[in-house]
Chain A
Amino acid sequence: MSENTVVDPSGMHREDQSAELKQSASKPTNIVQRVWAQSEGRIGVILTALIVLLAFLGPLLAPVLTGYSPTAFADRPFQDSGLFGTDDLGRSVASRFLAGGALLVTYSVAATAVGLIVGAAFGMTAAYAGGAVDAVIMRCNDVLLAIPQLVFAMLAIVVLGPQGWVLIMVIGITHAPRIARVSRAATLNVINEDYIRAAEMYAVPRARIIFREIVPNIMGPLSVEAGLRLTYSIGSIASLSFLGLGMQPPTADWGLMINENRIALSIQPWGVILPVVAIAILTIGTNLLADAIARATASTNVEKS
């Protein structure tokens, strides 16, 4: 407790500042590191990257590795010739598996992006405008939420035909209400902060307040929701393909492959097992990733494992 142990407060403070300057605690870029710091986050990233790589490099490698293009006939149906045998029409399962992920991943990401943009726009507008606008948007939202996602998607596809853009829009729009709810709740938390009021005071245009002041501050909850919706998108699109309303034959697609090959599950299981495992790994990977992002944005002190 002697005199010399006491440092002048402001002098000490400036030392802290210079240390902080090098590694700013409030820089948002840290989120990648924070996700990677968690073991769940690492597993999620690795699993997702694995399947995404497989899906996008697969179509290029399929003819080279297996010797058959995804639509070429290799043998009679359901034979175990070659690496993984043949499917219901005698095409190479290995080749179709390699080629079958690209569309699924692309469509899921696109559908999630559509849902995110539409949902976030409505959610933020509802929260920011408040009053009657809020009530109208959110009640319409509730009506949409009441319709089962898959039933709505099937209806739209039956009417509009099973094309890629229809699939993306329909899945995207069925995601929008849920994303709107999340972004509305997140915006409501931000809207009462004084910096929004300060921007109002300087009469900053409302659109600019949304993009500059609100969007960066709700990215945390929004990216968590996006990760979760991506998982659901993958499941929905694969399901629709399985039901014959997604990708159409003779396209190589994992969902479609499960449907085509399920009748011979006991004699030639590879045509079902491979796509099922791939879809499972992808959904688990994105789900873990979403959880890791949630934890990374929820608090700054991430447990080190």
Chain B
Amino acid sequence: MSTAMTTTADTVEDLSTVLRMDDLRVSAVGGSEILLGISLELYRGQILGLVGESGSGKTTAGLACMGHYRTGLQHTAGGIELFPRDGDPFYLESLSTEQTRELRGSRVAYIPQDPALSLNPAIRVGEQIREVLDVHAFGKSSAERGARVKEVLEDVGLPGTDEYQRRWPHQLSGGQQQRIGIAMAFAMFPDVLILDEPTTGLDVSTQAHVLDTIRDMTRRHDVASLYITHDLAVVAELADRVAVMLRGELVEEGPAQQVLHRPEHDYTKRLLAAVPDLAGRKDLSAATMRESEAVETQASETQVSEPGEATEASAMESAEPYLLEVTDLAMKFGDNVVLSSIDMTLEPGESTMILGESGSGKTTLSRCITGLVDGYTGSVRYRGEELAKSTRKRTIDHRQEIQYVFQSPFSSLNPRRTIGESLTVPLEMSKRLPRSEHKQTVEEALDAVRLGRSFYDRRPGDLSGGERQRAAIARALVNAPRVLVCDEITSALDVSVQASIVSLLNTLREERGLAILFVTHNITLARHVSGHINVLNKGVIVDRGTVEDVLENPTHEYTKALLSDIPQL
């Protein structure tokens, strides 16, 4: 660790430590250790990016900076020393409960992940910011506090007018809500700012604005920020220094440029290799090979070709109807038009990406195709045959040929039933195979997604997110479908798991000639997943073509804006 410190010293001229975490250890009550000795320093006017995958203990470390340990966790050793702007340094552990409460929100401020959940929906936004000032008795008079609210709102780029302050949280967009959160955090001129994945729920364009605000506020107010995230690209945009955590340990720390471009630790290298890049230069499957997968040999034997390749083969037999054809599809819920005049096609072995931000109608589109949402107008044809609107009205064959994989692996498998039971359902319903062959077919599907047969009798609660998503994909595969609709299937997963799922999909497409409709908000995955891309904005396809065309020469304003806002490593 000391070597990392000296390297930072010569790159940055003036470093004054604001918070020093010294060999901090936290463990579950009567159980395993969560943090195994973390040492960090936060410097004034700098942002430290703390990255790690889920369960690595980064949030626990962040909350410890505020003297908070979640129920069931206890602080066992080490200390956190704070050097406030005015006054003497002190240790957080030495404070009484009352003093700790006084500290939170004034000296150390916290910005949580979901702005919509963290703002009180029944208090006007101006009052919520003011509440912080009232609690910590800011200034001398009520007028002074009022002026501070206005000032801090203007600081984060929101209007400070009385009209704006009287708004309710629901009248603001997600990005504005998060900026209210930032305003609250900065209201008391804190020394330390803890940001716990504050942009994870936001669209890229909104994220770009919020990141600008955070960077600007940190510099201007000389605050030491700790930015907790799993998104390495965001860290590259924002952080001055980066610390990488792996299962409660700090494996690497140093200036952002050094850690992200010349990583020393194996884990950091692997993490970086798993991050999808827009240029598509990386081989994501290579990143996953290094993980010792259950069926390693099988996976490495399969050569993954370029996603677009299969289209040429199918183009020759152009007389054949398209495998999947969507014409003039439109959908509205009440008066709210979600999709209008969608046309698209899919060929065997082809992978097409539907790209859109939240609210663009991409999930509705994929559910219309699979018949989970009926009541749309227009038609969905499979090999030239028109499909019934609702899945219950479709024929068994139609239903089995088009399979849908859900976004969240945590909700798509029944927690009370074993993986085997869940995976047998499609077989029971299709009645294609005799009952005696069900188990074998399910086991083969489990093998195909590189899970292994031992998962047959296990329940979803025993599985990690990535394993559950593999099981969910296996459920879609048991009936050997032709079309796989993947709705944001990697968005709930860590980057390294995402990389392995993406390489799995490419392998399956290759092995089985599957046509894949990959629905996502993550444009950086485009070159890794798909040959074609459809950009969906407000229910309309605004840009379409091969990935190369769209990414190199975007025709629509929306696509251009989207491309310019992506954080890059």
Chain A residues engaging chain B, CB cutoff 8 angstroms: 1, 3, 5-6, 8-13, 17, 20-21, 24-28, 193-195, 197-204, 212-213, 216-217, 301
Contact = CB atoms under 8 A, between A and B. Distances in A.
Nearest to A304: B30
B251 A6 contact: yes
Interface residues of B, number: 44
Nearest to B296: A10
Contacts of A10: 291-293
A35 B414 CA distance: 24
Given A10-B291, A203-B399, A213-B414, 6 more contacts: A5-B249, A6-B246, A6-B267, A9-B291, A198-B404, A204-B425
17 contacts: A6-B249, A9-B267, A9-B496, A21-B458, A21-B462, A28-B416, A194-B407, A198-B404, A198-B425, A200-B391, A201-B371, A201-B404, A202-B399, A203-B392, A203-B429, A212-B414, A213-B417
Interface of B: 1, 72, 246-247, 249-251, 265-267, 291-293, 370-372, 391-392, 394, 399, 404, 406-408, 411-417, 422, 425-426, 429-430, 458-462, 464, 475, 496
A217 B411 CA distance: 12
A204 B429 contact: yes
B291 to A, nearest CB: 5
Contacts of B425: 198-199, 202, 204
A26 B372 contact: no
A194 B408 contact: yes
A201 B406 CA distance: 11
A216 B460 CA distance: 14
A202 B476 CA distance: 10
B554 to A, nearest CB: 33
A198 B422 CA distance: 10
Contact of B372 (A1, A6, A201, A213): A201
A27 B417 CA distance: 9
Residue from B370, B407, B416 whose CB has the most chain A CB atoms within 10 Å: B416
A1 B72 contact: no
A13 B464 contact: yes
Nearest to B459: A26
Contacts of B293: 10
Contacts of B407: 194
Given A13-B464, A20-B462, A26-B460, A195 B371 contact: no
A275 B463 CA distance: 52
Contacts of A28: 416
Nearest to A192: B411
Task: Report the 9 A-B pairs with minimum CB-CB distance, sorted nearest first.
Answer: A26-B461, A216-B416, A194-B412, A194-B406, A26-B459, A194-B411, A195-B414, A202-B429, A10-B291
Residue from A11, A193, A195 whose CB has the most chain B CB atoms within 10 Å: A195
A193 B411 contact: yes
A9 B392 CA distance: 43
A27 B461 CA distance: 8
Contacts of B250: 1
A1 B40 CA distance: 13
B391 A201 contact: yes
Given A6-B266, A202-B429, A204-B429, A197 B399 contact: no
Contacts of B460: 26
A87 B267 CA distance: 83
Given A200-B372, A203-B391, A301 B72 contact: yes
